[in-house]
Amino acid sequence: GGPQAPQLVVRTAVDIHASPDRVWHHVVAFSELPEPTEWLFRHGIAYPQRATIHGHGVGAERHCVFSTGAFLEPIEVWDEPTLLKFSVTHNPPPMEEWTPYQHIHPPHVEGFLVSEGGQFLLIPLSGGRTRLEGTTWYRHHLWPVGYWQLWSDAIIHRIHGRVLRHIKALAEASDTVD
């Protein structure tokens, strides 16, 4: 039933004072992020907490753990230290409902925002720096698409920003270690 929702794309980038080799290590898996301060995430929108990897190379499974559950991300391209690309085979709920009842899944939240894939692209810059670009391909099933895309894109940019800033902090801190 109904028209097919178009695939949408969001790209966000950050420049990091560390080499692609150093940044790559923190892209593949990263430690616990600090609790969010942003209003959006404190009021129910799912937010990233950490990422783990099981295996190595193409076919490895990355788990990006959000406050509502884990995205399962089988690796499709492992081009170290340039490109990590993955599909998404499981999406956790996009938000916690504001309700006294736990684990209720109202139909309007199901499929509201469905991530279909993502990638991290590492671009070497002068002076041993790296531009890290995060991309998410997704669909949402709200009409009109263009109106709701303003909101969904903004939410995904916030999620990207949270992850990219964390990777930047980790990579720049590890600069002094080795």
Please report, in tens digits, the pLDDT of each residue of the chain (178 residues total).
667 889 999 999 999 999 999 999 999 999 999 999 998 898 888 999 999 999 999 999 999 999 999 999 999 999 999 999 999 999 988 887 666 565 555 555 556 789 999 999 999 999 999 999 999 999 988 888 888 899 899 999 999 999 999 999 999 997 554 4
Q: What is the pLDDT of residue 54?
A: 97
Q: What is the pLDDT of residue 134?
A: 98
Distance CA 34, CA 95 (A): 19
Q: What is the pLDDT of residue 102?
A: 59
Q: What is the pLDDT of residue 178?
A: 44
Contact predicate 86/117, CB 8 Å: yes
Query: Which amino acid makes up residue 11?
Result: R
Q: What is the pLDDT of residue 95?
A: 80
Buried b (16+ CB within 10 A) or exposed e, 20-46: bebbbbbbbebeebeebeeeebeebbb
Distances, alpha carbon 159 to alpha carbons 65, 103, 177, in Å: 12, 23, 28
Q: What is the pLDDT of residue 141?
A: 81
Q: What is the pLDDT of residue 143?
A: 82
Q: What is the pLDDT of residue 140?
A: 86
Q: Residue 84: CB partners within 8 Å, gap ≥ 6?
A: 24, 27, 28, 75, 77, 78, 119, 120
Q: What is the pLDDT of residue 42?
A: 86
Could you say which DSSP state residue 95 is in?
B
Q: What is the pLDDT of residue 109?
A: 58
